Every structure is written in C-alpha cells, then in structure tokens.
Structure 1
C-alpha cells in the first residue's frame, strides 16, 4: 500500500478525495492500494528531564546541566489513539509519501513518527502550496525524493533541541536562584520567548524613563491666485536640534513677530519630482499579521488562525506560513485562471478586474526571491465566499487586493517642495498632485499596505520663482517630543522579524542578514501568545506591555540569552543546517558546551528581584513598584492591569539591593 502521511485531518480529506481514497476509516481514508492518514499536529514530543532520570523530578542546581546523551521522544497522551492508527498503517505500507505542511515543522512532524515507528521503506515528499484540487494534482505529478527535504528535518531538530537545552536548564537554574531570593513562581526562560520579552521590557523602560523636550513650530497660511496653502517656518541652525526642530522659544517668538509684521512671502525655489510607486508585494505571514493588527485590530494568533482557515477550510488562499511575498515567475501564466476564479467567487470584483492587465509583470514575480514558499495569494479555483465570517472576509479581501495590485500600473504623483522667504524667515511648503491613480484604485476605502506614502494631501497652486504670495495668518504651536510608542502585537512581530536592523554591535551587524529574525513565520504568533498566557505580557487596548515577572526575568538571565541578536544568529545556524553548511551534531555540541559554561557561571549567583520593597497595595495586598507618569513618580500595584491600586510617591524606600553581574560566557555559535 502507498501511504500518504498528512499533518491534519482536513489535509487528509482533501488529498484523499483527489486520490480516490473514498473509504472512511478510523483516522484514515483508504482506496485501491492507497491509504491517507494524518498526525493531528505533533503525535510525539520530546520527553522532560524526569523521563531520563527520576532524580530530575526535584529541581536542583546540583543536577544541572541536564544534557541527554541519546535524545528521546514519546507519544503524546492526548493523540495516542491516532498514533496507533498511523503505526498500524505504516506496518502495512510498502511506500510512503510525506504530505505534511511544506516547512521545517511539517518535516519534523512526519519524520519523528517514522523514526519512532521504525519505518524503513521508500519515502517521497509531496510539496503543496495550496489545498485546492488543481494544486494537489499538480504537486502529485512532481513528487520529490525524500532526500531533498531531509535537511529540513535536521534543521527542525536543531531548533527543537536548542529550545529544550535552554528552556529546561535555564528555567530550572533561574527558578531555583529566584526561590533563594524570595521569588515564589517559575522564571521561565526560552530561546525565542526571552529575547522577545526583552524587546517589550526595553520599550516599556524607554517609555517610562522618557523625558519630553519642548520645541516650537510656526504655521503660515498663504494665498496665491486665490488658492490658500500652508507653509512651515524653517528655524535657523543656531536654534534647532539635530532633527531640525526649534528648541529655543525666544528664536521662535522673534520669527513669529517678524512674520506677523509681513504681508507677503517671495518664492525663491520650486522643485517638482515625479514619483512612481510600485504596488506592494503579496503578503508574507508577518506582514499580514502587522496589517491585520493595525487595520483590523486582530491579535497575531487570530490572524494566523484566519489565514489557516482560508487555506485549509475554504481553499480560498495559498499556504499562509510563508516568509516571502514574492511569486515564482511561472505562476504569472496562471493569472487569467485566478482572475476567473475571483469573479466566480465574488462577481462584485468583475469591474475592478476588467481594469487589470495580466501581461504586466511587477517586481513580485522573481524566482531569485522565492524561498520554499511564495507569497499568500488567491487560489486557482472558485470557492463559496458566502461561507466566510466577517473577519475571514476582511482578511481575504486584503490578500486579494494585494494580488490584484500586481496587474495595475504604478501609482504616479508629482511631489513639489517650495522654498519661500518672508522678512528674513525661511518657509517651506510641500504638496502633491496625483498623475495616475494606478494600483491605489484597489485600495479605495481600504488602506492595507505597509508601504503607504507619507505624503501631504495639500495641493499647491502653480508657483514659480519670484512669485509673491499673500500672507494671511501665522500660528505658533508649542509642542513636546513624544516617547516611543508601546508595541502592538503586529509591531512586535515586525520587530522580531527585522531584528537585524535593531542590532548596534558592528560585528554582529555584519554577521546578521537584513532578513534574519527571531522565531519563524510559523512560531512567532505562538511565542507572543505563550508570553501572554504565562502572564509575562499583558494587553492594554491594542498594545502589549511587560509584567513585573518579565522585568525580573530580563534582569536575571544571562545577557546573551535575552539578546535578540543571539537568537537571530541561531536562526541563521538553522538555515545553514538546512542548506548543508553545518551539521546537526556540530550545532548541538557547541550549544551543549555553552550551556555547561552558563550553568557553572551562574550557579552561585544571587538574584536581585525586580519587585520592590515598597508599600503594600491598598486594594489587593500585593507589592507595589515605582512608576513614572506625566506628573512624576507614583507607586503602582505589581498586578496592574488586573489591579489598579496606586499610591502617591513618598520618601524613598530602602530597596537598594543590587546584584553584581559578572560577564557571562559568550555562546560559541
């Protein structure tokens, strides 16, 4: 029997239908010489330390580090019945086709089961980007040898074992150290979760310590040939900061008085630039999560679940867990079929589609930029759009719009900058004039792209050098600099993906690629959800903030583990294993050595917990910590936002415990 091993029941059902395996069994479909079954996600999991040795049931620093000599996995209790189904079918199979998701995790889900079951028969790989019938038939016609994707499995194992080594050893180490210092809970440490937490802790601290600076702007209302427009005063360098803001009130007041005594401004320079704006790429998962967070208010996990539903349940869009928005060049030939499917699914888009040109080849079609997957786009076949929920429909329309934009002209506009002089004061006016709407027509009433132009909507009159403009009104505006914005979940995803841009160390910046991130498209949402569920992050409106325990963890763990650059370098190592440039054993050996060094280095450390020795919350009795608001310092309950207890700042407490931090050993990656 030829057995197809899928990841989820829904995949199994779709593939079985195409194969003609119509007989439904327990946990499988069968047909003439064909079997289709599934794993329901991970059927097996890495065993905990106590499975290797009973003494590890007690958390003790003396037992650390815990390094398995032979790595073990065990069947998950919840899915044990399905594992038995797969095991029995494998015993009857003469040939296997791995049909799990086409990524590292999908490869690992299948191959760990095959290893545990001892399957030794021939293996092929089905590589799917969509679950509609045409895509399945196309993929079945070009099955890959299993050897081509085996390194994906090794890469996933490297990720899994690195997570285990850091999570099990560092969590036990710092939890025990925390208990010695009076912390009663678990201090959970993770390879990806801790650097992600560090991003939020650093941002919260930057906001809390931010001191606003005053600056002044002057807005001038001008008229030329009966058309009113606005100009901004340009302060002299002697009164401005590096960003060009006037930071000296006396300079702004002098300019205000000078302008108020004037009635005209002279144009001294006019510069107009024609700008051609290319359409945004189709979505990768991270970009989709950012847009849905910003525009639809969705959590990143919600966006992933909706995208997965559009892919699996409705067959409306392609595989969502992709890290690129680019498309294979040969898929351009399928554009006409996709357009027909879009109209059949939703006739209301027919008029818009008639304005597209499928002969256009945007920058999205680039084989060199396509990875194992391509951008998220609509599928080749119609689907029942009425079956979508309101949220699914909103996300589907975003995906569809980004695809249709590829077949419309560039958006073109003229950007004009006018320099004026008025009573020895320099003024500047900016404006735009749309020349061709182009792909922007797809986004009418729907701002969805992260590449939106930051343009003034002001239309300027036809100004020329030496023209005189009448001055009508002058306004001075006292302003203050603003602190960094709190992370939303979408912005946190963006920071995780683009972590290389945030690294300041010149050596690391050279090592990291611009595309290197922490976590993967498949895992970032679950990392953020895990931090929320553990109480290390909490939501306030659309933003996320670090809890008291988060500050304790970040202040306690080795800097290298909390440093996002470290995890980004690991992600590069996983890519190297996938590409054959590094071996799994070599990577784990180096990580084992590093874990040994860290345990020895921190074994006798005394933690200084972040929680204060300040007053007790009058509402719930928990401890309080000092925070800074717009009116100065105050005590806030450490259980905020669940508890809103506050007290005014009193005399400083004696909470002066400090921990002398020794320099930890660096990871030899």
Structure 2
C-alpha cells in the first residue's frame, strides 16, 4: 500500500482527486482505489519541547541556567494534533511505500520529515520514501507532479538546513529572551522581553530609522536651472553642476548651501551664449520585470494598495488553496521551468477568462517570445508565482483577491511583450565657464510598458528632467535667456511602511557597513524567508514593539528601549547574514550541521555574558507584551498553514 503524506488537508484532497480509482473519505485520510491512501499533517504537528522537558528546574527563569543547550533534542505534539498523529501512525505502519508531499520549500521538507522520524519509521522504509513536489493544486498539474516523484533522500540537505534553523532559532530565542527578561526585571520591568534572531534586527531597523528622523534638522540648499533657447526658438533647461572650487559652499552630499553663490551664478549666465561641449545619445532597452516571488508581490501590493505583508500572504493562500488560481505562493523564486513555456497559451486563456480587465493585455501577447524568466538553472524546489490554467469568474473573488490575481497575471503577461526601448540624451554645456547638463529620455518602443501607462517614463535611477530635447548638435552655440533659482530643503528619511520594510528585509545588504557581510547578504534572500517575513512583522506588532500611524510603521517606547539596551550585534542583520550563508552551505553539502551548531553555542555564551553585564532600562510608558512569548516563539513560519483548509 502506498501512503501520501501531504502538508495540509487541502493538498491531500488535491492529490486524492488526481489519483485514479474510486475515492472513499475516512477520518483523517482518503482511500484512492485499493492500494493508495492519502493523509496529511495540519501544518506542523510537532514542535520543539519546552526547556522544562529537559530539566524541570528550567521551568523557573534563572540566569545560572543559561545557556540551555539540549543534549538530545525532543519534539512534542502540538496542541490539538495528537488525533491526526495517531491516524498517521496507524497508516504509516501499514504502508509499504511512503510519499512525502510537503510544500516545496525548506520548511515543507522538514515538516513531513520530522513526522516520519518521530513515528520511528524503520530505516529501510525511510530510505525508500519518495518526494512529490506540488506547486499548483489544479488536477492536471498535480497529476504531472505525481508522475515525477523523486527520491526523498535527495532532499536530506534541505531538511537538515531547516532543522538547523529551527533548533538555532529555539536556542537563540529561549536563551536571550530569558537573559534580557531577567535583566529587565532587575530594573523594574515586569514584562517579557522577547529577542529573536530575525525579529530583533528588523526592530532595530525601525528604531534606528525613527531616531534618525527625530534628530534630523532640515536645511536649505540651492540649485540653478539655465533657461536655454535654440536658434529656431525652441526652449529647454539645463542644471548647473558645481565645480570643485565650490566645495567650501557644499554639504557632504554635494548640495550648494550658499544662496549668494547660486544667485551669483544666475547673474553670470543671464543673456550669455551657451556652448554644447558634449552631446551623447544612447539607445537602450529593458526586458520585462520577472514574475513575482512572494516578497516582490508583497512590496508591489503594499505600494499600490496599502496591503500589509500578512494580508498579501493570506490572500495568496486563498487564491492558491481555495480557488486554485495561482501556483504555490510562498516562493522565493522569480523564474519558471522551461517545460512550463509550452503551457503559456492555456495560462493566457485562463487569465483572459478570469480577469476581464486584462483582456486587451492578453490579446497583445506574442506567445512566441520567450523572456529570461524560463530558466531551469534558476529553479529549485519551486518557481515564481504565476496564474494556473484554471478559468474562473472574477465575481467569485474578494476585492483583494481580484487585485492580487490581476497583479500576478499582468506580471506573467509581460513575459510575452517586447523590451521597452528608449533613447537617453545627455547634453553638456559651457555657460560663462560653468558646467550645465540637460538630460532627456524618449521612449522608442513601449514594449511591456504598455501594460503600465502611468510608468512610461520610469528609469533605472537616473532622473531625466524632460521627455525630449530639441534637435541639437555638438559644438552648437545656444542662448541662455536667464537662470532660475530653486530653493529646496533637505528631507529626513521616511518612516517605514509595510512595502518599504519588506524591501529593506529583502535588500538588507544596503544597511550593512562590513563589505564581507554585505556580500553575503547580496547572495542570500535577506532577513527572514518568503514564508516568515509577514509573520515576523505581525509578531512585532503583537508584542507591542511596533505600532502603526496610518501607513507608517513606528517603534513603540518598549521597542526603542529594548534595542537601545541590547548588545549591538543582536540588533544588526550581520549575524543573520552569517547564519543564512551557513544554512545555504548545509543545503549545498558544504558545511556539516554539527559545525553550525558549535559556532552558534559559542556565540550564545558570548551574548549571554554581554546581556548579563548590561542594565536594561525601558522608558516610562513602555508597555509589556501580553502574549506568553517565553513559550514557543512563533515566527510566522506556518501560521497560515497550521489552519485546516
């Protein structure tokens, strides 16, 4: 008998539907014909045991107990899961062949593997376990996955990497939360001070941003625009570029802070000839943005619709599980398998049916075009989030479901549009000995940009001041009519929003000074994972370290006090970068699990010593989190998955 173990009931039902033979629903599983059964977990059925499971003395929080380092790790059934575990125990014992059907990511791999191990499946049977990778719940896609089973042993490094992260998070959170809480109590704070390997650096980002805004002093600076006229009477403007001789009148960003200097430039250039010393024209092209990963989608949806990261994740789960209109959403990939290209026509047909707003966009596709999105070398266990081949009526969808489906579908359709082609022109002029530059960008072929009319003049970081310039030639002499003074004020950094905080988490390298750490972070996915980021942000709100003001995210007094009391290394992303690099090395069989854990233990001892030598003082008005955070630290890892579908 063959037994499929899915990650959740909805996936189990999808597998059963795709299998041949009559179906019979039983309690906790489905019979498919005479020799195949499908059962499931309900998210994580097991969790790390509490410290007092290792030693009853650990029930009391005492500094002398730290660090708590389990000799033999113990798992325990999560609340309400024993019944399903009992069903799985019976089925696993009867089965001749097991098929692991966890979600196609690191946590999905560990989730089923740890159940198989906890049920003490014999080594011979464990060695023959097969792996089924499903990222689309529609029957045809599930049948394709069922026909492409792989040996589960191929995924041992992935599972080991997830196990290392799970245990490391437990060690880090349990020990530092206890150490900080006990130190806080000595200063009169009676709440729990929760510390986490990812959540604390994220909180540190927000605290440091808030503090930089609080101390920011706005100052004026000045720019000069030359108003130019060609012999034919056409007009445009060019911006003054201060020379090295002006350095004494500029700030550290190169902005002119002397109004008198700017006014003097205006007097010098008024009614003067302007000589074109250089004229550069470059034709460039830009391919369509790749299909979405979860973080990329969360950032876009946050900017466009003000949706929180958790709202996006929950809505995507509904589109995936309930409506089966999109592929697996917790993906960190923006690429697609090459074999998927052959199904493009059916996907576009489904988009046309499901989202009438994109009918014209779907009609404009050229399905012979193949963007760089199709690349097997960049697809691991899962691929980018795209629409499935299922056709449905959009009236069945909620407003947020419609919005996200349209975003995902539009991003997919862009892969079948030509490049955006444009011409950049830069004109360098000499006016009365001063250097002035005019830039323009002109679209030659909108390509995929026709799907975003409001973004026709988007650029890659340059700031063309105008969309077109009159016909000009190098060496030509123009007339400067006058100069215009622009008085501006320096602006403080902006408070984080859901979209910008997510962007900071995924692009965390730019917040790191150490070049080696920055390099590591550029090569990883940043702080947290696609599946955990939304949950971690929400957790910081739940623990009352963050609060919202409209769309802005700010740190609370408790959040600020905690960050300003902790050892700096716990509030920076550097250590997480090193962890992620090491976990990736475990996944690639380049680093043993034991070496990672040994390094972690050394770091823990050092951090605990630093905390115990620190006075943790929170400001008056800092409220204590209400949640029992000294128990299992939820990182958002499977909050949506743990619910029955």
TM-score (norm 1): 0.86
Question: Is the 8 Å Cα contact of residues 500 and 514 (structure 1) preserved in structure 2?
Answer: no
- Counterpart of 1:574 in structure 2 is 583
State the aligned residue count. 614
- Counterpart of 1:98 in structure 2 is 100
What secondary structure sits across from 2:37 in the alignment? strand
Structure 1: distance between partners of 2:229 and 2:399: 47
- Counterpart of 1:651 in structure 2 is none
Are 2:425 and 1:419 equivalent residues in the alignment?
A: no
- Counterpart of 1:30 in structure 2 is 31
Change (3 A) 1:190 1:329: same
- Counterpart of 1:153 in structure 2 is 159
Structure 1 runs, 4 residues or longer, greater than 6 Å off: 446-453
Change (3 A) 1:301 1:448: farther
- Counterpart of 1:10 in structure 2 is 10
What secondary structure sits across from 1:82 in the alignment? helix
What secondary structure sits across from 2:531 in the alignment? coil
2:419 to 400, 404, 410: 410
What secondary structure sits across from 2:108 in the alignment? helix
Question: Is the 8 Å Cα contact of residues 280 and 449 (structure 1) preserved in structure 2?
Answer: no
Structure 2: distance between partners of 1:430 and 1:596: 57
What secondary structure sits across from 1:177 in the alignment? helix
1:87 to 86, 89, 110: 89
Structure 2: distance between partners of 1:174 and 1:285: 33
- Counterpart of 2:194 in structure 1 is 188
Change (3 A) 1:457 1:389: farther
Question: Is the 8 Å Cα contact of residues 401 and 443 (structure 1) preserved in structure 2?
Answer: no
Question: Is the 8 Å Cα contact of residues 518 and 567 (structure 1) preserved in structure 2?
Answer: yes
Deviation at 1:348, TM superposition (A): 5.5
Are 2:392 and 1:383 equivalent residues in the alignment?
A: yes
Q: Which has the higher contact order (CA 8 A, sep 6+)?
A: 2
- Counterpart of 1:607 in structure 2 is 615
Question: Is the 8 Å Cα contact of residues 272 and 432 (structure 2) preserved in structure 1?
Answer: no
Are 2:532 and 1:520 equivalent residues in the alignment?
A: no
- Counterpart of 1:232 in structure 2 is 239
CA offsets, 1:338-367, max 9 Å, x none?
Answer: 223323434554443333222222222222
Structure 1: distance between partners of 2:212 and 2:357: 48
Question: Is the 8 Å Cα contact of residues 314 and 384 (structure 1) preserved in structure 2?
Answer: no
What secondary structure sits across from 2:25 in the alignment? strand
- Counterpart of 2:74 in structure 1 is 72
Say what the alpha-carbon RMSD is for the aligned residues.
Answer: 2.6
**How is 1:573-652 mapped onto 2 (pairs within 5 angstroms)?**
573-603=582-612, 605-611=613-619, 623=620
Structure 1: distance between partners of 2:461 and 2:428: 26
Question: Is the 8 Å Cα contact of residues 326 and 374 (structure 1) preserved in structure 2?
Answer: yes
1:169 to 155, 160, 175: 175
- Counterpart of 1:198 in structure 2 is 204
1:337 to 346, 350, 355: 346
CA offsets, 1:263-312, max 9 Å, x none?
Answer: 76444432211111111111111111111111111111111112222222
CA offsets, 1:63-120, max 9 Å, x none?
Answer: 2221111111111123333333333332332222111211111112112222222233
Are 2:516 and 1:529 equivalent residues in the alignment?
A: no
Between 31-40 and 283-292, report the one with greater CA deviation.
Answer: 31-40
Change (3 A) 1:414 1:35: same
Structure 1: distance between partners of 2:159 and 2:408: 30
Change (3 A) 1:455 1:395: farther
Deviation at 1:314, TM superposition (A): 1.6
Change (3 A) 1:423 1:450: closer
- Counterpart of 2:326 in structure 1 is 317
Deviation at 1:406, TM superposition (A): 1.4
Between 458-467 and 278-287, report the one with greater CA deviation.
Answer: 458-467
Structure 1: distance between partners of 2:186 and 2:203: 23
Structure 2: distance between partners of 1:463 and 1:448: 22
Structure 2: distance between partners of 1:23 and 1:221: 80
Question: Is the 8 Å Cα contact of residues 498 and 514 (structure 1) preserved in structure 2?
Answer: no
Structure 1: distance between partners of 2:272 and 2:315: 59
Structure 2: distance between partners of 1:382 and 1:14: 17
Question: Is the 8 Å Cα contact of residues 449 and 455 (structure 2) preserved in structure 1?
Answer: no
What secondary structure sits across from 2:72 in the alignment? coil
Structure 2: distance between partners of 1:205 and 1:58: 36
CA offsets, 1:187-211, max 9 Å, x none?
Answer: 1111111111122122222222223
What secondary structure sits across from 2:81 in the alignment? helix
- Counterpart of 2:268 in structure 1 is 258
Between 102-111 and 576-585, report the one with greater CA deviation.
Answer: 576-585
Question: Is the 8 Å Cα contact of residues 213 and 481 (structure 1) preserved in structure 2?
Answer: yes
